[in-house]
């Protein structure tokens, strides 16, 4: 329904798209969780040789299709430096909308998240892509920190979002990001993954991706019950045409799982002496090899609360980021921000993360400032908070008059998004 140049989405559900550096989330406004969660990677096969390839058609591949091995398939992140980001962004949107959600984009308004630091050029280009390439009827863009704040039921908060490649401390006041007070560092889950991978290599651990072997399990059954331990047989699969980018991605997926299932944050600053007797934890690799992890389970994630990380100048810990961001804000709102620190992102799911953050922040603040962390216990809420915030916002009756309609786009151009979505 159109009226006065605005689009009112009373009859159809809005679609919420949250495109991150590592994962893309998509789903219907008003629902609790995204229906689609896919890697933010595009698979490309350039100049294929049909005599050597084991593929179904040619590139590009996206979504779950990149998880299947294909000869010569090169993986690229949607937001990787260099190259044409617009084509990769269009492809990941098309995968999420048309192939995964299986809907016609012409029939639904779309709300997209964007990074908290304002980027006029990128949001104008995104607006053009959605209206021109997908022919959507209406559009809106909201900064991810605002959406995370809304997901927690707050219009004012300090959002600490520690994701795959970047950690942000973003103050949100009355639903608006305070741009001058944002603190951002290029440290995140992939930093932790890098350190763990290098550690495993130094131990001589050979991480074999699933596509390099077939695994056969032989069990002895007697009286309907398995007797003894199963026997595993591995058959190597030669993969001479694997692209290094796909091999690296596959190995890192395994290392990420090791990290997510075994790592914890200690209550106090890590030291080799105090953690010398930490019990080891065992992890079974896909090929059945057992990896033993000792105090590195605490030592490596300690990077999130320490300084001196190679290549990251000025970083002194996520707690210091929160403190510095709030200190840059007006004195009048600092107490409210300290009392509403929203914690989100995959790294916040390490056991002990929020307890350590609260302790370190309390040490930094003055006695009359009370620190309160807002950190949902649900893994889904913590990982997908910006998508959930978008789902809540786009389903509100009061929001429906906010959409930028196709009619407005045709009349004023993509630059109107700057006025419609502050």
Query: What values do phi and psi take at 133, rounded to 5?
Result: -80, -35
Whether 136 and 212 map to the same domain: the answer is: no
Whether 82 and 136 map to the same domain: the answer is: yes
pLDDT, tens digit, 9 for 90 and up, residues 260-270? 999 999 988 77
pLDDT at 80: 77
pLDDT at 50: 58
Q: Which of 252, 271, 304 is the last residue of a domain?
A: 304
Q: For residue 256, what are the domain limits?
A: 190-304
Phi-psi map region of 81: left, alpha, beta (phi>0 left; psi -120 to 50 alpha): beta
CA dihedral 162, 335, 320, 20 (to 10 degrees): 20
Whether 120 and 16 map to the same domain: the answer is: yes
343 has which bridge partners?
Answer: 160
Query: Which of 126-135, 198-207, 309-318, 321-330 comes out lowest in average pLDDT?
Result: 309-318
pLDDT, tens digit, 9 for 90 and up, residues 207-262? 999 999 998 877 767 666 766 677 778 889 999 999 999 999 999 999 999 999 99
Which has the higher per-residue pLDDT, 80 or 129?
A: 129
* 3-class secondary structure, 75: strand
- Nearest CA to 374 among 124, 42, 65, 145? 145
Whether 198 and 257 map to the same domain: the answer is: yes
Do residues 398 and 8 touch, judged by C-beta distance below 8 A?
no
Inter-helix orientation angle 85-94/120-133, to 10°: 50
Angle at the Cα of 188 from the Cα atoms of 157 and 79, rounded to 5 degrees: 95
- Count up the domains in the chain and report the number: 2
pLDDT at 3: 35
State the pairing for strand pair 74-77/404-405.
unpaired
Q: How confident is the model at residue 23 (pLDDT cuts 50, 70, 90)?
A: very high
Whether 31 and 92 map to the same domain: the answer is: yes
CATH number, domain with residue 101: 3.30.420.40
Q: Is residue 243 part of a domain?
A: yes
d(CA 376, CA 159) in angstroms, rounded, equals 13
Burial class (CB in 10 A: 0-12, 13-18, 19+), 86: middle
Task: Give pTM, 2 decimals.
Answer: 0.91
Work out the widest C-alpha separation in the chain, in whole angstroms: 76
The pLDDT of 364-389, averaged and rounded, is 91
d(CA 350, CA 356) in angstroms, rounded, equals 11
pLDDT, tens digit, 9 for 90 and up, residues 70-109? 999 999 999 876 666 888 999 999 999 999 999 999 999 9
């Amino acid at each position: 329904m159109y009226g006065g140049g605005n689009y009112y989405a009373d009859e159809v559900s809005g679609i919420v798209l949250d495109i991150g550096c590592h994962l893309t989330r998509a789903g219907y406004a008003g629902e609790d969780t995204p229906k689609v969660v896919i890697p933010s990677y595009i698979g490309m096969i350039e100049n294929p040789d049909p005599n050597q390839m084991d593929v179904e058609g040619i590139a590009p591949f996206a979504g779950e299709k990149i998880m299947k091995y294909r000869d010569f398939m090169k993986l690229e992140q949607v937001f990787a430096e260099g190259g044409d980001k617009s084509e990769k962004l269009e492809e990941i949107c098309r995968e999420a909308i048309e192939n995964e959600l299986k809907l016609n984009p012409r029939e639904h308004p779309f709300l997209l998240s964007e990074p908290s630091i304002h980027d006029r050029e990128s949001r104008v280009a995104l607006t053009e892509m959605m209206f021109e390439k997908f022919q959507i009827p209406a559009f809106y863009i909201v900064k991810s920190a605002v959406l995370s704040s809304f997901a927690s039921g707050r219009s004012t908060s300090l959002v600490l979002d520690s994701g795959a490649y970047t950690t942000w401390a973003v103050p949100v006041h009355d639903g608006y990001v305070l741009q001058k007070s944002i603190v951002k560092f290029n440290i995140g889950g992939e930093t932790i993954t890098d350190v763990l991978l290098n550690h495993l290599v130094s131990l001589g651990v050979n991480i074999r991706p699933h596509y390099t072997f077939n695994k056969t399990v032989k069990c002895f059954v007697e009286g309907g019950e398995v007797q003894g331990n199963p026997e595993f047989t591995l058959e190597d699969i030669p993969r001479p045409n694997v692209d290094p980018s796909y091999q690296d991605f596959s190995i890192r997926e395994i290392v990420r799982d090791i990290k997510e299932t075994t790592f914890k944050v200690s209550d106090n600053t890590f030291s080799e002496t105090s953690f010398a007797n930490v019990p080891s934890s065992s992890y079974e690799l896909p090929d059945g090899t057992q990896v033993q992890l000792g105090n590195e389970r605490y030592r490596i994630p300690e990077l999130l609360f320490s300084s001196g990380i190679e290549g990251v100048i000025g970083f002194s810990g996520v707690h210091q980021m929160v403190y510095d961001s709030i200190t840059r804000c007006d004195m009048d709102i600092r107490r409210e921000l300290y009392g509403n620190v929203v914690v989100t992102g995959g790294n916040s799911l390490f056991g002990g993360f929020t307890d350590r953050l609260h302790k370190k922040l309390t040490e930094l603040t003055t006695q009359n400032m009370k620190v309160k962390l807002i950190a949902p216990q649900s893994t889904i809420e913590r990982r997908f908070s910006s998508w959930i915030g978008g789902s809540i916002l786009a389903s509100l009756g009061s929001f429906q008059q906010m959409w930028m309609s196709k009619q407005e786009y045709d009349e004023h151009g993509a630059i109107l998004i700057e006025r419609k979505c502050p």
